[in-house]
Amino acid sequence: MNGTVIETPSWPSTYGDEARPRVGFFTDTSVCIGCKACEVACKEWNEVPAESLGFEGSSYDNSGDLGANRWRHVAFIEQKVPVNGVTESAPDSWVEEAAKQQLVEHGLEPHDDDSGFRWLMSSDVCKHCTEAGCLDVCPTGSLFRTEFGTVVVQEDICNGCGYCVVACPFGVLDQRKDDGRVWKCTLCYDRIGDDMEPACAQACPTDSIQFGPLDELLDRAGKRATELKDRGHADARLYGADPDDGVGGFGAFFLLLDEPEVYGLPPDPVVPTRHLRRNWLAAGLAAAALAAGIAASFVGEGK
Amino acid sequence: MHDGNSSEADRGSVERAVPEEPTYVHGGTGPGPRTTQTTSTGVGDRRRGGRRREGGERAMVPREKPSSYYGRPVIKPPVWTWEIPTYFFTGGLGGASATFALAAGLTGNRTLARRSWLIAFGALAVSPLLLTSDLGKPMRFLNMLRVFKVTSPMSVGSWVLTLGATATAPAAASAFLGRDLPGARAARFIAGALGLPVATYTAVLVSNTAVPVWSEARWELPLSFAASAAASAGAAATLATPVELAAPARRLAIGGAVVESAMTELMDRRLGELGEPYREGASGRLAKAAKALTVVGAVAMASGARRSRPVVAAGAAALLAGSVCERWAVFKAGFASAEDPKYTVGPQRERAADRSAPDP
């Protein structure tokens, strides 16, 4: 499939010999069982503060969304639709159907019985975008691109201006209220430097969260998506694996079984900085108009 | 299932997120995030056998409402507090006043120039305090000046505001003392020039975000902010200056008010459905107040000129209040826009559909 390394504006160019392979996550939601081990492992390792856990009335989701205190978040979606739009008619191939049933028994397929109900589960995380809006707008340089091509907040520099919060098309970053700074997934910067995989990936019991060099992950994900489609999952699609998308491709991408917005993800995210030139041009024109207006208000005056 | 029954509202949101009726079929066009709801037939037909034939027969009605995850926002609302819209006002007032003061001085209207420099300094001196107070870590405000990034309007703004406010200080001090301090002339030119970006960059600050009502108004917001700045600077100078010397200030205020009204109207039309926050809720009320105050203020200033100082003063006060309301309306609209996922998902879904339409 892909095989090529997606370069970011500052990786690997600014690192020279110190650049390491760009790493990321492939979150294969088709095998997620919603155990939340990733949420727990992330909190444990990164000492992310606890927050009140209550029943939110949204299936088994009790943490809501990503934020300063949730760097992994497992979404639960209950759907009353037959999987893949397949209706109850008899299958053409009983062999294929039997193979599928076997996969279901092994937990490798989403639940799919005659009741026409399915559960989608997905562990969301910072996307570590190729073109990262948060990093672009950070006025202090606190957010930076690591030698692994990931995006990390330096907490000793962040002054809590909050600009990255609104610049992220995914709503990943947020301010920690009692602390004032913003926090997000570091892709376990402190672990990957020691050749350990991030806590969430290590804790994931089904390998729904896979960590590794991005090119390898993309390759593997492409094969997995094709495999699922061949098996009849027409809805299986990769999300964030296209380097031509609005953020230049994600460093942490997903295999989804429905539209991204069903999982709370934007269907066509675009990094705000894509419009930077137009934005500044508009401001330049406005500044010129202001100058002209001020000059015009003095017409007829003079010494 | 759970025994903890979810409320009707929760149920509603689940069902909204997952339509029960098969009104559409997802047609994957291959690996990658670009999928479309319009490529219906290919999916089933391309496959071996007719097992998924039914898929092709489904009605291809576009989804009426963008779906969401339990109605939760896709993006985060700003964490900014009252200091930010207040600063939009003071920064606009200070920046435009500095440029106006320079122009007044150059045309020999010394009283108008002096008063305007003092207004500019007052507004630009309070601005960094407001911005610092909004920070999560106010003691680290100087970290803003450890880098300069064009990709960050806040970084650019921190620099132009710092330099602009610094240059305004000697200009205002000279105006106050009535004699030029060393370097005052250069300071005036620098402050007058930097006043223009100070008054306009804040529009880019908000348009360079993922908030739909802000980012989609990228062409209108800067001129709207510049006009609002002009209106407030003109109004403030009018209040501070004797009527017979304030004619340029009145003209600037009225001109700014006219352009501001036109720009908000244009923005409203161009945003369409995305602009709902300017018509509903708290931001809608602020937008209406801004519009009314701006129109009333401009009319009062125009009609009262040379005849009635109280009428002109009341008009100027209305324009200042209108400018404040306008900044708050834009600020609040951003929250409303971020908090409802339909504003984020809807346009993106349309964009993705438009883009994949040419290839079947």
The CATH number for B174's domain is 1.20.1630.10
More confident residue, B332 or B17: B332
Q: Report residue B333's pLDDT band, with 50, 70 and 90 as the boundaries.
A: very high
Q: To 5 degrees, how large is the angle CA B152–CA B153–CA B159? A: 100
Is B292 inside any structural domain? yes
Work out the average pLDDT over A18-46. Answer: 96
Q: Work out how many CB contacts closer than 8 A connect A with B.
A: 341
Question: For position B30, what pLDDT does the model report?
Answer: 33
* pLDDT above 50: residue B2: no
Nearest CA in chain A to B77: A166
Q: Measured in whole angstroms, how far is the alpha carbon of residue A161 from the centre of its chain?
A: 23
Work out the average pLDDT over B84-94. Answer: 98
* Of the candidates B159, B222, B151, B160, the residue with the CA atom closest to the CA atom of residue B193: B160
The shortest CB-CB distance from B6 to any of A57, A157, A238 is to A57
Question: For position B344, what pLDDT does the model report?
Answer: 96
Q: How far is B70 from chain A (nearest CA, A)?
A: 7
Q: Report residue A101's pLDDT band, with 50, 70 and 90 as the boundaries.
A: confident
Work out the average pLDDT over A123-143. Answer: 97
**Contact between residue A79 and residue A118 where contact means Cβ atoms under 8 Å apart:** yes
Question: For position B56, what pLDDT does the model report?
Answer: 38
* pLDDT above 60: residue A68: yes
Chain A CB contacts of B219 under 8 Å are 278, 282
Work out the average pLDDT over B287-295. Answer: 97
Interchain contact, B73 vs A171, CB within 8 Å: yes
Chain B CB contacts of A168 under 8 Å are 75-76, 210
* pLDDT above 50: residue B95: yes
Supply the range of the domain harboring residue B189. Answer: 84-337
The shortest CB-CB distance from A161 to any of B135, B209, B349 is to B135
* Of the candidates B17, B64, B74, B73, the residue with the CA atom closest to the CA atom of residue B350: B64
Q: Left, alpha or beta for A131 (phi > 0: left; psi -120 to 50: alpha)?
A: beta
Interchain contact, B196 vs A287, CB within 8 Å: yes
Work out the average pLDDT over B115-135. Answer: 97
- Count of all residues that appear for chain A in the document: 303
- Of the ranges A51-65, B36-50, B83-97, B298-312, which one carries the lowest mean pLDDT score? B36-50
Nearest CA in chain B to A64: B72
Q: Which two tokens stand for residue A190?
A: 């402190």
* pLDDT above 60: residue A303: no
Is B64 inside any structural domain? no
Interchain contact, A275 vs B218, CB within 8 Å: yes
More confident residue, B358 or A193: A193
Is B71 inside any structural domain? no
pLDDT, mean over chain B = 84
Work out the average pLDDT over B263-289. Answer: 96
Question: For position A98, what pLDDT does the model report?
Answer: 75
More confident residue, A7 or B49: A7
Q: Please provide the CATH number assigned to the domain covering A16-270.
A: 3.30.70.20
Question: For position A105, what pLDDT does the model report?
Answer: 72
Chain B CB contacts of A156 under 8 Å are none
Nearest CA in chain B to A269: B348
Question: For position A225, what pLDDT does the model report?
Answer: 97
Q: To 5 degrees, how large is the angle CA A148–CA A140–CA B162? A: 160
* pLDDT above 50: residue B59: no
Q: Report residue B66's pLDDT band, with 50, 70 and 90 as the boundaries.
A: low
Interchain contact, A58 vs B14, CB within 8 Å: yes
* Structural domain boundaries in chain A: 16-270, 274-303
Interchain contact, B14 vs A174, CB within 8 Å: no
**Contact between residue A235 and residue A84 where contact means Cβ atoms under 8 Å apart:** yes
ipTM (interface pTM): 0.86
Is B176 inside any structural domain? yes
Interchain contact, B219 vs A282, CB within 8 Å: yes
Chain B CB contacts of A142 under 8 Å are 143
- Going by their DSSP bridges, the two strands A252-256 and A237-239 should be labelled as antiparallel
- What is the number of domains present in chain B? 1
- Of the ranges A87-101, A130-144, A275-289, B319-333, which one carries the lowest mean pLDDT score? A87-101
Q: Report residue A108's pLDDT band, with 50, 70 and 90 as the boundaries.
A: low
Decide: residue A33, CB within 10 A, 0-12 exposed, 13-18 middle, 19+ buried. Answer: middle
Question: For position A204, what pLDDT does the model report?
Answer: 97
Alpha carbon separation from B296 to A98, B242, B257, B261 (Å, rounded): 76, 21, 10, 11
Work out the average pLDDT over B52-60. Answer: 39
Q: What is the DSSP string of chain A?
A: ---S----SSTTTTTGGG----EEEEEEGGG-----HHHHHHHHHHTPPP------SBTTB-S-S-BTTBSEEEEEEEE-S-GGG--SSPPS-HHHHHHHHHHHHTT-S----TT--EEEEEEEE----SS-HHHHH-SSS-EEE-TTS-EEE-TTT-----HHHHH-TT---EE-TTT-SEE----SHHHHTTT---HHHHH-TTS-EEEEEHHHHHHHHHHHHHHHHHTT-TT-EEES--TTSTTS--SEEEEESS-GGGGT--SS---GGGGHHHHHHHHHHHHHHHHHHHHHTTTT---
The shortest CB-CB distance from A294 to any of B67, B100, B151 is to B100
Nearest CA in chain B to A226: B31
Is B229 inside any structural domain? yes
Rounded Cα distance, B210 and B208, in Å: 7
Nearest CA in chain A to B225: A286
* pLDDT above 70: residue A32: yes
* pLDDT above 50: residue B43: no
Interchain contact, A160 vs B135, CB within 8 Å: yes
Q: Report residue B355's pLDDT band, with 50, 70 and 90 as the boundaries.
A: confident
Question: For position A251, what pLDDT does the model report?
Answer: 96
Name the most confidently modeled range: A80-89, A236-245, B345-354.
A236-245
The shortest CB-CB distance from B99 to any of A75, A176, A291 is to A291
* pLDDT above 90: residue A221: yes
pLDDT, mean over chain A = 90
Q: How far is A264 from chain B (nearest CA, A)?
A: 5
Is B308 inside any structural domain? yes
The shortest CB-CB distance from B199 to any of A180, A276, A290 is to A290
Question: For position A200, what pLDDT does the model report?
Answer: 98
* pLDDT above 90: residue B79: yes
Interchain contact, A161 vs B72, CB within 8 Å: no
Is B61 inside any structural domain? no
Widest CA span in chain B: 92
* pLDDT above 90: residue B352: no
* pLDDT above 60: residue B21: no
Work out the average pLDDT over B214-235. Answer: 97
Question: For position B273, what pLDDT does the model report?
Answer: 93
Is B197 inside any structural domain? yes
Nearest CA in chain A to B9: A57
pTM score of the predicted model: 0.84
* pLDDT above 50: residue B360: no
* Of the candidates A182, A176, A177, A188, the residue with the CA atom closest to the CA atom of residue A153: A182
Alpha carbon separation from B344 to A26, A252, B159, B277 (Å, rounded): 25, 21, 32, 13
Question: For position B8, what pLDDT does the model report?
Answer: 34
Question: For position A300, what pLDDT does the model report?
Answer: 83
SS3 of chain B: CCCCCCCHHHHHHHHHHCCCCCCCCCEECCCCCCEECCCCHHHHHHCCCCCCHHHHHCCCCCCCCCCCCCCCCCCCCCCCCCHHHHHHHHHHHHHHHHHHHHHHHHCCCHHHHHHHHHHHHHHHHHHHHHHHHHCCCHHHHHHHHCCCCCCCHHHHHHHHHHHHHHHHHHHHHHHHHCCCCCCHHHHHHHHHHHHHHHHHHHHHHHHCCCCHHHHCCCCCHHHHHHHHHHHHHHHHHHHHCCHHHCHHHHHHHHHHHHHHHHHHHHHHHHHHHHHHHHCCHHHHHHHHHHHHHHHHHHHHHHHHCCCCHHHHHHHHHHHHHHHHHHHHHHHHHHHHHHHCHHHHHHHHHHHHHHHHCCCC
Rounded Cα distance, B130 and A112, in Å: 56
Q: Which two tokens stand for residue B65?
A: 């409402």
Q: Which two tokens stand for residue B267?
A: 């923005």
